[in-house]
Amino acid sequence: MKKIYGGVETGGTWCVCALGSGPDHLLAYEQFPTTSPPETLERIASFFAAHPAPTAIGIGSFGPVDAEPSSPTWGHVTTTPKPGWRRTAVATVLRDRIGVPVAFDTDVNAAALGEHRWGAGRGVESLCYLTVGTGIGAGLVIGGRPLRGLVHPEVGHLRIPHDPRQDPFRGSCPVHGDCWEGLASGTALGERWEMSPAELPGEHRAWRLEAEYLALGILSIVCVASPHRVIVGGGVMERPALLPMVRRGLRELVAGYLDTPLLGDRIDSYLVAPGLGDRAGVLGAIALAELEARAA
């Protein structure tokens, strides 16, 4: 009989809960708005109270977070700009309420793990899952486990080339201004062009600039982490023509220096769309829970 695990994805806008063992075996699934911490955490606890207790629960949270198990603030959302959530305990509250082991990581690390286990990253030794939406974030999986170091990866705050003559926009990041997220997130697109990404026409020059910025940031990831595959999702990437433009931009930036066909004529199989769609985060949280149970 398969063990049952819980998955929770606490996004900045939506929270998703699931119970099961994978994409083909979900016993329960619920999505609701991420509101205040007390209300959101109560709704998560109520979801699990209404179903058989899982072996463990995995949580993939918007961040920044403290995911270091030895830290006194493990399981907290830390310096987030989301109103009301700064320095909020998440994992410890749910662990105590539900009474099962809890694994805790970023939402993008969870999504990366889900894609590695069941999605577009199956069979590769390492991958980067990149999401381009309201912000920009990435998770890295190496050897079947999410990568964490001193802190978790925060690729959205990479500094990429920004020529104010070409693009006078100062950036939307409240901390760093024109970091990668400040130049290329959905928020940046909306502020720069005064319309949402969904409203921008396909022929608008915004998309050429967006593809250029995304290729520059992905090049930094490739040169430093050297993942075997890069998976790019998020709301901004729903524009069908954008991913092919980013592929072309990345290939031009590499300029043959990195001698692998995956960054040349096989780039279509290197820089790919997600396989799990918007379920990657909560399914990855289930995979986190399974890892936690195995380690116990």
* CATH number of the domain to which 192 belongs: 3.30.420.40
pLDDT per position as a tens digit, 131-179: 999 899 999 999 989 988 777 788 999 999 999 999 999 999 988 999 9
Question: What's the pTM?
Answer: 0.93
CA distance linking residue 39 with residue 194, whole number of Å: 33
- Asked if 262 and 166 sit in the same domain, the reply is yes
Residue 138 forms part of a structural domain: yes
Under 8 Å between Cβ of 79 and 73: no
Residue 117 forms part of a structural domain: no
Q: Mean pLDDT, to the nearest integer, of 263-288?
A: 96
pLDDT in the model for residue 188:
97
CA 199 vs. chain centroid, Å, equals 24
Q: In 3D, which of 226, 218, 204 has the Cα closest to residue 248? A: 218
CA distance linking residue 2 with residue 111, whole number of Å: 22
Contacts of 48 (CB under 8 A, 6+ apart): 6, 17, 19, 54, 57, 98
- Asked if 27 and 132 sit in the same domain, the reply is no
Alpha-helix residue ranges (DSSP H) falling in 156-279: 180-184, 186-193, 206-225, 242-254
- Asked if 202 and 224 sit in the same domain, the reply is yes
pLDDT in the model for residue 18:
98
Q: Mean pLDDT, to the nearest integer, of 257-272?
A: 96
CA distance readout (Å), 40 to 10, 62, 81, 273: 9, 13, 17, 30
Does residue 296 surpass a pLDDT of 80? no
- Asked if 156 and 97 sit in the same domain, the reply is no
Output the average pLDDT for the chain: 94
% pLDDT > 90, the chain: 87
Residue 201 forms part of a structural domain: yes
Does residue 86 surpass a pLDDT of 70? yes
pLDDT in the model for residue 110:
96
pLDDT per position as a tens digit, 2-59: 799 999 999 888 999 999 999 999 999 999 999 999 999 999 999 999 999 999 999 9
- Asked if 224 and 206 sit in the same domain, the reply is yes
Residue 254 forms part of a structural domain: yes
DSSP 53: P
What residues make up the domain containing 185?
Answer: 122-272
CA distance readout (Å), 283 to 5, 24, 268, 276: 10, 10, 25, 8
- How many domains in the chain? 2
Q: How many CA atoms lie within 13 A of 71 on its CB side?
A: 16
pLDDT in the model for residue 295:
80
Q: How many CA atoms lie within 13 A of 62 on its CB side?
A: 22
- Asked if 61 and 172 sit in the same domain, the reply is no
pLDDT bracket for residue 1 (50, 70, 90): low
pLDDT in the model for residue 13:
85
- Asked if 106 and 138 sit in the same domain, the reply is no
DSSP 205: T
Residue 169 forms part of a structural domain: yes
